[in-house]
A and B are shown apart, each in its own frame.
Chain A
Amino acid sequence: MRIPLGWLRDYVDLDLSPEALAERLTLLGFEVKGLERWGSEWRNVVVGELLTVEKHPRADRLSLTSVHVGAAEPLQIVCGATNIAPGQRVPVALPGAVLPGNRAIERTEKMGVVSNGMLCSGDELRLSVDGEGILILPAGTPLGTALTDLYGDWVLDVDVKPNRGDALCLVGLAREVAAVTGSVARFPEITLREDGPPIGEVLAVGVEDPELCHRFVGRRVSAVRVGPSPEQVQRRLLAAGMRPVSNVVDATNYVMLELGKPTHAFDAGAVARDARGRAALVVRTARPGERLETLDHVERALSPETLLIADENGPLAIAGVMGGAASEVGESTADVIIESAVFDPVSVRRTAFRYALRSEASLRFEKGQESRLAWIGADRVTELIATWAGGSVAAGRIDTAPDEPVPARVGYRPARVDLLLGTRLGPDAQAALLARVGIATEPAPDGSGVVIAAGATPRSVAVAPGEARDAVVPPWRRDLLVEADIAEEVIRIAGYETVTGKTPDTAMPHVRPNPLELRDALRRALAGAGLTEVVTPALVPGSAAATLGWPVLAADGVPGEAAVDGLVVTVTNPLSERHAVLRRGLVGSLLDVLALNERHGRGDVAIFEVGKGYAQAPDGTPAEWWRLAFLVTGSAATPAWNVPARTYDLDDAKGIVDLLARVLAIPDPAWVSHLDGAPLHPGRAARAVAPGTLAGLIGELHPSVLAAWDLRAERVLVAELAISGLSAGQLVPVRVASVGRFQPCERDLALVVPEPLAAADLAATLRAAGGDTLRQVALFDIYRGAPLAAGEKSLAWRVVFAADERALTDDEVDADVARLVSAVASAHGARLRT
């Protein structure tokens, strides 16, 4: 809320600088988000007196004026307005002035005559909304004074939290200022001359739905003259961020900003009369089929929950939200009905949302209204209308619920307040602090409990006699309901800075496993291997999943990390089509990162992400699961003069997975040829399988995907992996095997096999035939070509034999090797390459 300090001073004495006030309010819970010197654009606009006004020699519609601005020589200024005459005091923008809207004023020549500046209208200065003529200043306005000094003001932009609707106004903030400065806030004094007929003769109000309209106060002013508000009022409204409209409408806005009380003025001429000739209003919900053209000239179909102000002909206004066009106060309005009501906050909030009509008024109604303000607001608006627009005020007011509610009492235990705050204030100091914001305290009657929780799950606790006190809550405060609220009020007034911090010294909780431990270990291993971690949006275009066609990896073989291959979770109110559904996998996001970096000229990209996939389970509940994905393309080593160039290929990608396996302390995963179901090169795709621990899909992206993503890269390796413990797991401690005292025996076997035989299958046969001394089977070469026949390849293996307790003899190892050779010969037709 924008608070002009000059206006605030009407309600509280201030001897603080604007900066100091801003800090005090911030420390009181009313954060000052901005401190603006309103009117700084008027620095080179000064008060001048018109000496002469003559016709421009060459332009009929222009005047040639000479203006005295306090300097020795009068200024010659050309002006197009017609409301000027010698002797008037007017605002003069001097050359060099920059008016609102960045309008620079310079010395110019207009139709052959030099103009040394400009005479300004109120609108040009944003001092009022009158753009018709030059702003005529009061006769005594000091010559030569800058308008900044006359009308400029400091404006605080105060963040009033939703629980403090009472402070969403000048009087409310004046109360808070008074609480910290020790001064006293002043309510505006209202003086009404009620010279009209008794209100009961000219206005009738019926409330059909008192649940939604708790109180309705009506007044009536006759024979008003609708016109502009006094200029000071216009200036205040503009400084506070509201546009002046007319004296009647401005009176309602002025009171809303001043007291926080939204009111509405109806043109009484548009309201139907009852049999006794009274304007007759009724507050009721909408009937089927009813429509209303609101002030913004939109015709709205009204839903039955909508609370209306109506007459017998139909709706006049949406209660608490917006008036109707037909009963709008305009230039021809003679009689005005003032509505000052208390509506149900929830009803107003829902209605404002329903019609997308959230206004300054509805915002205040939503936060709840002090009942008393209904009549005070009505009286204040009536007074201001009578003062600014004249007219005759009907005697008395209609008031549908004149009994004021009993002040609420909130019990609190001073000892508990200190316990919650970690302070040692004691009952008396607490009471003194509360008194500064108008909260009286007294001993709670014996037998009364203390309410510690309110709302849907209230809780009251019994207290010992003398343990509790009652806080008597001022009627404007709606945020003080339970003991903890009183504690906050105590420390808010004392100042949060008076809380002396200490490190917690109570019992520590039991150690819990860190759910990020395994994830972090994998992330660090990948970064160490040259991959850069990315974090990408979880919301992706609705079409992305379909375009990429990456399968959801159910990962049933990896306990605890299963995914759901269900419907995507779709945002029903997306910010954009680019962020419309929750992703089911990470690979598409990595492609987006590649695309972005390619646009920056980066072809070498090695990235990974640990993130979630999301879908709807068959029972309609949301499912979330963790996956690790990576993408590598371009140069496999940092390009440098001393590094041979090499690009990433499938083996690099597999090596990255093997690295993860080492972090997980599991054997290298098996690779199973993957034939279809993923957007991958059909001959360069594999499933990684480490039963119970890791499962995933890895491969080179299909060229059609690269084209669809508009990527320049030729070969892009991607993988998405489910890993046991990625969601919340810990590292498994390494179990050490005996190193062995005896030297192992290494033998190399080059086996010639048919081309289609998978290396993994041959290795499996070797391992199975190896016996218990076989320690290792490792592929170290693949050879094709002469003297091998076409369709043959040679796979060379290093096999290692060892025993824990003795040295192996050559004869033993020879026998083992012979067994291996014969096993692969019979299983695969393999022969030794000699």
Chain B
Amino acid sequence: MDLATLTSQLRALGEEALPKIAAAPDLAALDELDVAYLGRKGGALSGLMRGIGQLPAEDRPRVGVAVNEVREAVEGALASARQRTSQAALAARLAAEAMDVTTPGRPIARGSLHPIQETISRIAEIFGQFGFVTYEGPEVESDATNFQMLNIPPDHPARDLWDTMYVDIDGGLLRTHTSPGQIRVMHAEKPPIRALLPGRCFRYEAVDASHASEFFQVEGLMVDEGTSLADLRGLLDEFAHAMFGAGRATRFRPGYYPFTEPSVAFDVGCLVCGGTGCPACGRTGWMTILGAGMVHPVVLQHGGIDPERYQGFAFGMGVERIAMLRHGIGDVRVFLDNDLRFLEQFR
């Protein structure tokens, strides 16, 4: 073995290996070529290097340079070939994994909250911004708490405003409004009072598209020194704007309740026609959303509050009425029917 032979064998090895590496189809073939040419034990390059020892000492460094050249060339070729084939493999895998992205996603079950409860929450949230705190009262009340404490004595003609269901408990009845809660809050708290009382009410009333015998109200009460009708107006405007939109027109007009004086009816511009007049608003352009007024001095007294020092207002609204206007619901009966086709629209 002489220098020239070894050098030419090295060149031949490189010329043989590089095209094979370039043509290798996959990583496994490259691994085989790696072992075949560069393997420590049976590799072709190792075989050639065994011949170095037979060369004269002065030739050995030159051969070492040549061997390294070939090794680096093969190693480089292997590395770039490996990168090429792994990219191809990844691309192939990704291609194989392609999905029809237009199919619908996997549904995640989600229920819905009832519009009555959600409307109550919304009302509480709006008044909560003005410091109104929620309270609750019982639904089985008495003639005294539902009527007499609210300045509605027995045989008062105003009783016609509340058709009442009575129960087999002495003096007991199902509250016709959330107003008895006013008295309870006044007994529990000292002014300043800002209270909100949501809850279920009952009336002896034939059920149709706009009347329910069971329904929900939210009562509000504010009592302090100097609390006035102007405060009531300002607060109700804020409420109407929060609930029905900032530009919503509002109207303040006289109402009648024995437990408020002056009494108020509060209207918003018709949510259907915007105020020009339509069947939904009786062609008036207005829709009444709640009743209110300054708490009658007699009621303050029944609540243990000095009407000479304090004054306040109360308001009461039908939750279904608000929800119907807000969501475009035409029939009050849907609320307690619980048809899932209705409820699930609130998901």
User: Which residues of chain B come closer than 8 Å to A526, judged between CB atoms?
Assistant: 111
**In residues 253-309 of chain B, which contact A (Cβ within 8 Å)?**
253-256, 258, 261-265, 282-284, 294, 296-298, 301-302, 307-308
Are B134 and A516 within 8 A (Cβ)? yes
Query: Given A509-B133, A527-B111, A624-B139, does the pair A420, B283 have CB atoms closer than 8 Å?
Result: no
Is there contact, CB below 8 Å, between A452 and B308? Answer: yes
Residue A743 at the chain B interface, CB threshold 8 Å:
no
Q: Which of B166, B253, B338, B344 is within 8 Å of A571, CB to CB?
A: B166
A residues less than 8 Å from B111 (CB atoms): 526-533, 606, 608
Separation of A27 and B251 alpha carbons in the complex (Å): 9
Give the complex CA separation of A165 and B251 in angstroms.
26
Residue interface mask A588-612, B partner, CB < 8 A = 1: 0000010011001010011110001
The segment from B15-23, B31-39, B82-90, B221-229 that touches chain A is B221-229
Contacts of A22 in B (CB 8 A): 284
What's the Cα separation between A533 and B343 when bound, in Å?
Answer: 8
- Which of A515, A524, A571, A641 is B167 in contact with, Cβ under 8 Å? A571
Indicate which residue in B165, B193, B251, B343 contacts A532 across the interface (CB closer than 8 Å): B343
**A421-B214 contact given A459-B297, A514-B133, A638-B109, CB 8 Å threshold:** no
The answer on a CB contact under 8 Å between A496 and B253 is: yes
Which residue of A29, A350, A499 contacts B155 across the interface (Cβ within 8 Å)?
A: A350
Does A332 touch B at the CB level, under 8 Å? no
Q: What residue of chain A has the Cβ atom nearest to residue B141's Cβ?
A: A622
The answer to whether B230 and A500 have CB atoms under 8 Å apart is yes
Query: Which of under 10, 10 to 19, 20 to 34, or 35 or more describes the interface residues of A?
Result: 35 or more
The answer to whether A162 and B297 touch across the interface, beta carbons within 8 angstroms, is no
Q: Are A616 and B160 in contact, with the CB atoms below 8 A?
A: no
Chain A residues lying within 8 Å of B254, measured Cβ to Cβ, are 27-29, 488, 492, 496
Give Cα A488–Cα B111 distance, bound, in whole angstroms: 48
| B165 CB contacts on chain A under 8 angstroms | 571, 573-575
Please give, as numbers and ranges, the residues of chain B lying within 8 Å of A34 by CB-CB distance.
282
Q: Which residues of B contact A582 (CB under 8 A)?
A: 140, 167, 174
Instruction: Let me know if A216 is at the binding interface, CB within 8 A.
Output: no
Contact residues in B for A515 (Cβ distance below 8 Å): 134-136
Q: Are B262 and A492 in contact (CB under 8 A)?
A: yes
Q: Is the CB of A461 within 8 A of B308?
A: yes
* B216 CB, min distance to chain A CBs, angstroms: 8
Q: Which of B43-51, B66-74, B116-124, B324-332 contacts A (4 or more CB under 8 A)?
A: B116-124
User: How far does the Cβ of A585 sit from chain B's closest Cβ, in whole Å?
Assistant: 16
Instruction: Say if the beta carbon of B339 comes within 8 Å of chain A.
Output: yes
Chain B nearest CB from A526 CB (Å) reads 6
Say whether B110 contacts A530, CB under 8 Å: yes
Measured CA separation A579–B189 after assembly (Å): 36
Q: Are the C-beta atoms of A572 and B124 separated by less than 8 Å?
A: no
- Which among B117, B151, B213 is the interface contact of A535 at CB below 8 angstroms? B117
Neighbouring B residues of A508 by C-beta, 8 Å: 131, 192, 194
A15-41 CB mask vs B (1 if < 8 Å, else 0) is: 000000011001111010111000000
Chain A contacts of B256 at CB under 8 A? 29, 161-164
Residue B341 interfacial (CB < 8 Å): yes
Known: A419-B228, A420-B228, A530-B109. A456 touches B153 (CB 8 A): yes
A529-B111, A533-B343 are known contacts. Are A569 and B140 too (CB-CB below 8 A)? yes
Residues of B within 8 A of A482 (CB): 261, 297
Q: How far is the CB of A639 from chain B (nearest CB, A)?
A: 8
- Check if A569 sits within 8 Å of B335, measured CB to CB: no
B residues in contact with A456, CB < 8 Å:
148, 153
> Is the Cβ of B192 less than 8 Å from the Cβ of A507?
yes
Query: Is the pair A538, B200 in contact by a Cβ cutoff of 8 Å?
Result: yes
B62 to chain A, nearest CB (A): 59
Which of B4-12, B53-61, B100-108 binds A?
B100-108
Indicate if the CB atoms of B233 and A499 lie closer than 8 Å. yes
**Closest residue to B340 on the A side, CB-wise?**
A597
Q: A497 CA to B237 CA in the complex, in Å?
A: 12
Q: What is the CA–CA distance of A496 and B252 in the complex, to the nearest angstrom?
A: 6
Q: Which of B224, B265, B340 has the most CB of A within 10 A?
A: B340
A528:B110 contact, CB within 8 angstroms: yes
A624 and B157 contact, CB distance less than 8 A: no
| Cα–Cα, bound, A573→B222 (Å) | 35
The verdict on A571 contacting B230 (CB below 8 Å), with A35-B283, A457-B301 known, is no
Contact residue among A459, A491, A501 (Cβ-Cβ distance under 8 Å from B237):
A501
1/0 per position for B238-255, CB-CB distance to A under 8 A?
Answer: 100000000000011111
Given known pairs A509-B131, A616-B169, the reply for A643 and B340 (CB within 8 Å) is: no
Q: Whole-angstrom distance between the alpha carbons of A574 and B205 in the complex? A: 10
Is A484 in contact with B261, judged by CB distance below 8 angstroms? yes
Query: B28 interface residue, CB < 8 Å from A?
Result: no
For window 164-214 of B, CB contacts with A under 8 Å fall at 165-170, 172, 174, 189, 192-194, 200, 202, 204-207, 213-214
CB neighbours (8 Å) of A35 from chain B are 283
Instruction: Tell yes or no: A536 within 8 A of B by CB.
Output: yes
The reply to whether B107 and A506 contact each other, CB–CB distance below 8 Å, is no
- Kindly report which residue of chain B lies nearest to residue A492, judged by CB atoms: B254
A346 to B340, CA, bound (A): 49
B276 to chain A: closest CB distance in Å?
13
Whether B336 sits at the interface, judged by CB under 8 Å, is yes
- The residue on A at minimum CB distance from B168 is A570
- A159-186 residues with Cβ-Cβ distance < 8 A to B are 161-165
Contact (Cβ within 8 A) B229 A421: yes
Please indicate the chain A residues that have their CB under 8 angstroms from the CB of B298 in the complex: 453-455, 457
Given contacts A29-B254, A642-B106, contact A421 B230 (CB under 8 A): yes
On whether the beta carbons of A622 and B297 are closer than 8 Å, the reply is: no
- Find A33's partner among B138, B282, B307, B343 (CB 8 Å cutoff): B282
Confirm or deny: A621 has a beta carbon within 8 angstroms of a beta carbon on chain B.
yes
Q: Given the interface contacts A26-B253, A455-B298, A509-B193, does A569 sit within 8 Å of B231 by beta carbon?
A: no
Contacts of B311 in A (CB 8 A): 419-420
Contact B169 A501 (CB under 8 A): no
- Of B230, B252, B262, B343, which contacts A534 at CB under 8 A? B343
Question: Which of the residues B106, B117, B301 comes within 8 Å of A533, measured between beta carbons?
Answer: B117
Contact flag A26-B107 (CB < 8 Å), given A492-B254, A571-B165, A574-B165: no
Min distance, Cβ B127 to any Cβ of chain A, angstroms: 11
**A residues less than 8 Å from B202 (CB atoms):** 538-539
Q: Which chain B residue has the least Cβ–Cβ distance from A160? A: B256
| Complex contact A29–B253 (CB within 8 A) | yes
Whether A512 lies near B133 (C-beta < 8 A) is yes
Question: Are A622 and B169 touching (Cβ within 8 A)?
Answer: yes
CA distance A499 to B229 in the complex (A): 7
What residues of chain B lie closer than 8 Å to A528, measured between beta carbons?
110-111
Indicate whether A114 reaches chain B with its CB closer than 8 angstroms: no
Does A423 lie at the interface of the complex (its beta carbon under 8 Å from any beta carbon of B)?
A: yes
A419 to B172, CA, bound (A): 38
Tell me the chain A residues, 537-573 only, with Cβ under 8 Å from chain B: 537-539, 569-573
Pick 24 A–B contacts, CB within 8 A, sort by A.
A162-B161, A163-B256, A165-B157, A363-B157, A422-B233, A454-B298, A492-B262, A501-B236, A502-B233, A503-B231, A520-B121, A530-B110, A531-B111, A533-B117, A535-B338, A569-B167, A574-B165, A575-B213, A602-B341, A622-B140, A638-B108, A642-B104, A643-B106, A643-B107
Interchain residue pairs A-B with the least CB separation, the first 6: A422-B230, A530-B109, A29-B254, A422-B228, A501-B234, A501-B233
Residues of chain A whose beta carbon lies under 8 Å from any beta carbon of chain B: 22-23, 26-29, 31, 33-35, 161-165, 345-346, 349-350, 363, 366-367, 419-423, 452-457, 459, 461, 482-485, 487-488, 491-492, 496-497, 499-504, 506-509, 511-512, 514-516, 520, 523-524, 526-539, 569-575, 579, 582, 593, 596-597, 600, 602, 605-608, 612, 614, 616, 620-622, 624, 637-638, 640-643, 728
Knowing that A455-B153, A509-B189 touch, tell me 4 more A-B residue pairs with CB under 8 angstroms: A163-B258, A503-B234, A508-B194, A616-B168
